[in-house]
């Protein structure tokens, strides 16, 4: 949007910046001599995977590095003045006024015990811009400006009374309150649903244009960066791999790493991992349906005691053929998790029938229900929380075997080793504990644990959502390979339509507990049957590039 012919000096110039963390005597460099600049009104995206140093860089610019982080060299020039060695007191005048922050996780980024109004008003009060009635009026007009309904009511509410998207709007209101020159948006939408994500990014764009603010967009999502940024800075291992105009970098990436990132980003991928109906010959006969959900209804009794119940899933029906992947798609609160909890037998449905491999779940009680769980296994979203940190990989993977039948130790050993090598983990990982593994390795352990019982159906609950794109791509490859070799049926729960499109054969789109769209992936994506599905598809980031290529 703005080129180098603009006469203004850059808002921000980072030059040869190096940052290290000091833990006692250890000294760990995380950012190595990186340089980039942001011109007035420009959006620059800092793109990289976890550990690339992108967040550390962003923190250093606003002077909020962790206590053990230190700038070892280089400069950060704001309007030509080097602020990298400024004291906290000097920076306090800059923070909020000249540089502001839109944080990653709206759920934890607002003080839970203060009202929205107090937290928005705080930035005006700190910088002595307004007080009293004037302050209240400004707070309400800011809340209105970021698109919150009933701003006067919102000002009196507490964060927990607002949805994630609304909270992020509040945080944006705080960030733009003093019309700063630079906004650092640190993964501003990665914790939000895809349609909310699009609206929030649109809002940031709109305010940026209106106020002429520059934005440093920190993101792991190349799709988001492609849609929103004028220029990209690609980071890996604390070093700049590539920098340039977004169009140029995406069309003709110079570094191998950027090429890899583009290839692995699901939203760019033209590759459909499986061509439905061709990879496996799926018999047309419906007697080969391994999962049958028929008229599922799930009510929950509200806890506030007035006896009213809440319907989480409403008359949901779908069938999944053996050896295929069925995706359940929806935003938070759509009933995806409730549905799969009913399917794996963790809760009794209020009404409706669930049949897994010919067994009606409602007939199972106690021990028969426990035995049934062999057939259907879960892989959870968070590879950090779903593994017991005190168990070794061997213990984790062999535990299901101990729960079902008494396999002799040597046979168990062999089985665990076989399954671990099947999911691509080295033999040496057997004795390690989860903390010694990377996120991708942990998810491989979780997959091994699910497969060790030879299940028919594997439920993948957002199983790749927490992973970096390159890791995600490898795990998706693995899942595909396992499905082909072992004839597994997957129930793939996800909010990420780009991934769903890549790996699923059929899909159910849920909204407020109801099925709004369903059928084969091509049908649903090419000819969506509902406005909601269309909105979901349009919200997938990275479409700007798709239009370019």
Is 111 or 368 the residue whose CB approaches other proteins more closely?
A: 111
| One of 8, 22, 28, 160 touching other proteins (CB under 8 A) | 160
Q: How far apart are the first and last CA of the chain?
A: 20
Instruction: Give yes or no for a contact between 335 and 313, defined as CB atoms under 8 angstroms apart.
Output: yes
CB atoms within 10 A of CB 356: 22
Instruction: Determine if 89 is a binding residue for other proteins (CB under 8 A).
Output: yes
Minimum CB separation of residue 366 from other proteins in Å reads 22
Which pair of structure tokens corresponds to residue 32? 């190595």
Minimum CB separation of residue 168 from other proteins in Å reads 12
DSSP per position, 501-541:
HHH-SEEEEEETTEEEEEEEHHHHHHS-SSHHHHHHHHT-T
Is 211 or 394 the residue whose CB approaches other proteins more closely?
A: 211
Instruction: Determine if 161 is a binding residue for other proteins (CB under 8 A).
Output: yes
| One of 204, 229, 312, 387 touching other proteins (CB under 8 A) | 312
Instruction: Determine if 430 is a binding residue for other proteins (CB under 8 A).
Output: no
Contacting other proteins within 331-370 (CB under 8 A)? 337-338, 341, 347
User: What is the 3 state secondary structure string of 126-177?
Assistant: HCCCCCHHHHHHHHHHHHHHCCCCCHHHHHHCCHHHCCHHHHHHHHHHHHHC
Closest by CA position to 143, among listed 108, 164, 168, 109:
168
| One of 45, 101, 216, 537 touching other proteins (CB under 8 A) | 101
Total residues at interface with other proteins (CB under 8 A): 44
Contacting other proteins within 108-127 (CB under 8 A)? 108-114, 122-123, 126-127
52-71 footprint of other proteins as x/- string (CB under 8 A): ----------x-x-------
Instruction: Determine if 21 is a binding residue for other proteins (CB under 8 A).
Output: no
Minimum CB separation of residue 260 from other proteins in Å reads 30
Instruction: Give yes or no for a contact between 314 and 320, defined as CB atoms under 8 angstroms apart.
Output: no
Total length of the chain: 549
Contacting other proteins within 166-225 (CB under 8 A)? 171, 174
Q: Distance from CA of residue 359 to its chain's centroid?
A: 35
Instruction: Determine if 103 is a binding residue for other proteins (CB under 8 A).
Output: yes
Residue whose structure tokens are 């002595």: 128
Minimum CB separation of residue 279 from other proteins in Å reads 35
**Rounded Cα–Cα distance for residues 55 and 187 (Å):** 9
Closest by CA position to 439, among listed 52, 50, 28, 104:
50
Q: Which residues bind other proteins (CB under 8 A)?
A: 62, 64, 88-89, 92-97, 99-101, 103-105, 108-114, 122-123, 126-127, 158, 160-161, 171, 174, 300-305, 310, 312, 337-338, 341, 347
């Amino acid at each position: 949007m703005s080129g180098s012919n603009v006469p203004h000096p850059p808002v921000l110039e980072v030059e040869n910046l190096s940052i290290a963390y000091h833990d006692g005597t250890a000294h760990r460099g995380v950012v190595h001599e990186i340089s980039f600049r942001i011109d007035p009104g420009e959006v620059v995206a800092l793109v990289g995977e976890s550990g690339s140093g992108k967040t550390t860089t962003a923190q250093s610019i606003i002077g909020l590095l962790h206590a053990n982080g230190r700038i070892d060299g280089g400069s950060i020039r704001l309007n030509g003045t080097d602020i990298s060695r400024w004291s906290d007191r000097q920076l306090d005048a800059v923070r909020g006024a000249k540089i502001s922050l839109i944080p990653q996780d709206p759920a934890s980024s607002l003080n839970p015990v203060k009202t929205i109004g107090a937290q928005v008003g705080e930035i005006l009060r700190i910088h002595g811009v307004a007080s009293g009635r004037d302050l209240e009026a400004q707070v309400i007009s800011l809340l209105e400006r970021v698109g919150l309904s009933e701003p006067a009511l919102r000002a009196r509410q507490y964060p927990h009374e607002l949805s994630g998207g609304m909270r992020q709007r509040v945080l944006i209101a705080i960030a733009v309150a003093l019309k700063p020159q630079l906004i650092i948006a640190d993964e501003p939408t990665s914790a939000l649903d895809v349609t909310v994500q699009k609206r929030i990014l649109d809002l940031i764009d709109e305010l940026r244009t209106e106020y002429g603010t520059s934005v440093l967009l920190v993101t792991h999502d190349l799709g988001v960066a492609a849609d929103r940024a004028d220029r990209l800075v690609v980071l890996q291992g604390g070093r700049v791999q590539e920098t340039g105009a977004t169009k140029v970098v995406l069309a003709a990436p110079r570094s191998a790493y950027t090429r890899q990132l583009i290839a692995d980003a699901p939203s760019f991928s033209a590759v459909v991992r499986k061509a439905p109906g061709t990879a496996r010959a799926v018999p047309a006969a419906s007697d080969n349906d391994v999962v049958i959900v028929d008229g599922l209804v799930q009510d929950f009794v509200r806890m506030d005691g007035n006896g009213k119940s809440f319907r989480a899933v409403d008359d949901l029906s779908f069938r999944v053929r053996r050896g295929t992947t069925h995706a359940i798609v929806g935003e938070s609160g759509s009933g995806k998790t409730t549905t799969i909890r009913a399917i794996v037998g963790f809760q009794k449905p209020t009404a409706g029938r669930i049949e897994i491999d010919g067994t009606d779940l409602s007939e199972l009680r106690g021990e028969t229900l426990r035995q049934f769980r062999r057939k259907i296994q879960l892989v959870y979203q968070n590879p950090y929380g779903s593994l017991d940190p005190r168990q070794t990989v061997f213990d984790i993977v062999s535990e299901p075997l101990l729960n079902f039948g008494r396999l002799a130790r040597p046979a168990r050993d062999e089985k665990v080793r076989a399954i671990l090598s099947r999911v691509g983990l080295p033999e040496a990982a057997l004795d390690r504990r989860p903390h010694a593994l990377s996120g991708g390795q942990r998810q491989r352990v979780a997959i091994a644990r699910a497969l060790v019982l030879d299940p028919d159906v594997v439920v993948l609950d957002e199983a790749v959502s927490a992973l970096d794109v390159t890791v995600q791509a490898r795990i998706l490859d693995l899942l595909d390979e396992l499905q082909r070799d072992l004839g597994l049926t997957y129930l793939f729960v996800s909010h990420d339509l780009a991934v769903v499109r890549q790996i699923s054969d059929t899909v159910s789109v849920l909204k407020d507990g109801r099925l709004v769209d369903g059928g084969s992936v091509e049908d649903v994506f090419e000819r969506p049957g509902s406005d909601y599905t269309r909105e979901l598809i349009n919200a997938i980031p990275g479409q700007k590039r798709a239009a370019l290529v």
